[in-house]
């Protein structure tokens, strides 16, 4: 039993590392095909196939990371250690925490899609009239933009609703949504315990809830600025929002450890019962 748990933990860490390394290499390699001078009519079909393969490998890598996290999480729960990673795993393994995580992950993912422009709604623009689109339809645009922004997936769902999937945004959306869901599920447990034990654990819960929406800052700012200033300002706000989200990731990673510290008993065990 113990040997099997250790093996799952090791396999989980390997899958997580392999997945992230594969994605990093994929982004670097594909950036070599973003020079417009290299995109000749004869080379376009080859680059299109590479773009298709890009998403196959990227999705496979994300799948490997997801399964690796699951294996590592399960290993930490079975081991029942007294380190902070074990406390985080034990706190989020119960059914209530899993439901909270899933709800926040999906809800925040949808909100992120709207805020980042992945889910596009333009009531004033008819995609059929303006772009000659077929409804429904989709395609992969292989070139040309900054590293991480290509290849794009463009999908027309209706005359006014579509999807614009950008690799870096897709990756950020999954990572941030996961971390926000994790923070929220731990924060709920920390808050429940803080009501019973008045003390510093309230600080941990508040911190987790405060940073639970890193995308909101850019969206909130755009509401006050408005759209009258033009496209250039919109692009600047989008870049600022992406930067803010990227900077928030270390905070989202650190906060579960801060809250986990408040969820430890004096002997290092977890205050939350695993159901």
Q: What is the pLDDT of residues 189-210, one digit of tens each?
A: 777 766 665 544 444 444 444 4
Is the residue at 52 inside a domain?
no
Q: For the chain, what is the largest distance between any 2 Cα atoms, rounded to a whole number of angstroms?
A: 69
Q: Is the pLDDT of residue 18 over 70?
A: yes
The mean pLDDT value for 83-101 works out to 88
| Tens digit of each residue's pLDDT (9 = 90 or more) over 148-198 | 888 989 999 999 888 888 898 889 889 888 988 898 888 887 777 666 655
Is the residue at 272 inside a domain?
yes
**263 φ, ψ (degrees, to nearest 5):** -100, 10
Helix, strand, or coil (residue 39): coil
Q: Specify which residues 21 forms β-bridges with.
A: none
Is the residue at 139 inside a domain?
no
Measured CA distances, 180 to 122, 184, 258 (Å):
28, 6, 15
Which runs of E-coded beta strand occur in the chain? 119-121, 137-141, 152-156, 161-165
25/75 Cα distance (integer angstroms):
28
97/165 Cα distance (integer angstroms):
30
pTM of the model: 0.79
With beta carbons less than 8 A apart as the criterion, state whether 231 and 46 touch: no
Is the residue at 178 inside a domain?
yes
Is the residue at 245 inside a domain?
yes
Is the residue at 57 inside a domain?
no
Q: Pick the most confident of 67-71, 145-149, 182-186.
A: 67-71
| Tens digit of each residue's pLDDT (9 = 90 or more) over 226-255 | 433 433 444 444 555 566 666 778 888 888
Count up the domains in the chain and report the number: 1
Range of the structural domain that residue 243 is part of: 93-116+167-275
Measured CA distances, 119 to 37, 59, 173 (Å):
31, 19, 12
Is the residue at 1 inside a domain?
no
Is the residue at 11 inside a domain?
no
């Amino acid at each position: 039993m113990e040997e099997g748990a250790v093996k799952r933990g090791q396999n989980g860490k390997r899958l997580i590392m392999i997945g992230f390394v594969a994605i990093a290499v994929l982004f670097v390699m594909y950036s070599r095909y973003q020079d417009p001078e290299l995109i000749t009519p004869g080379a376009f079909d080859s680059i299109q196939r590479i773009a298709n393969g890009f998403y196959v490998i990227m999705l496979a890598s994300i799948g490997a990371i997801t399964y690796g996290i699951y294996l590592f999480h399960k290993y930490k729960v079975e081991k029942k250690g007294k380190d902070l990673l074990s406390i985080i795993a034990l706190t989020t393994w119960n059914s209530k925490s899993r439901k909270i995580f899933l709800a926040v992950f999906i809800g925040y993912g949808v909100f992120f899609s709207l805020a980042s422009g992945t889910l596009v709604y333009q009531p004033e623009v008819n995609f059929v009239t303006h772009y000659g689109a077929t409804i429904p339809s989709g395609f992969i645009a292989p070139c040309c933009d900054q590293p991480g922004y290509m290849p794009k997936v463009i999908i027309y769902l209706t005359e006014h609703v579509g999807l614009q999937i950008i690799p870096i945004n897709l990756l950020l959306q999954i990572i941030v949504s996961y971390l926000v869901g994790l923070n929220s599920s731990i924060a709920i447990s920390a808050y429940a315990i803080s009501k019973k034990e008045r003390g510093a654990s309230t600080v941990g819960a508040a911190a987790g809830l405060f940073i639970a929406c890193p995308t909101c800052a850019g969206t909130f700012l755009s509401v006050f600025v408005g759209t009258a200033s033009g496209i250039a300002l919109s692009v600047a706000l989008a870049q600022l929002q992406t930067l803010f989200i990227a900077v928030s990731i270390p905070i989202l990673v650190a906060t579960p450890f801060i809250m986990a510290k408040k969820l430890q008993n004096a002997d290092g065990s977890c205050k939350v019962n695993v159901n």
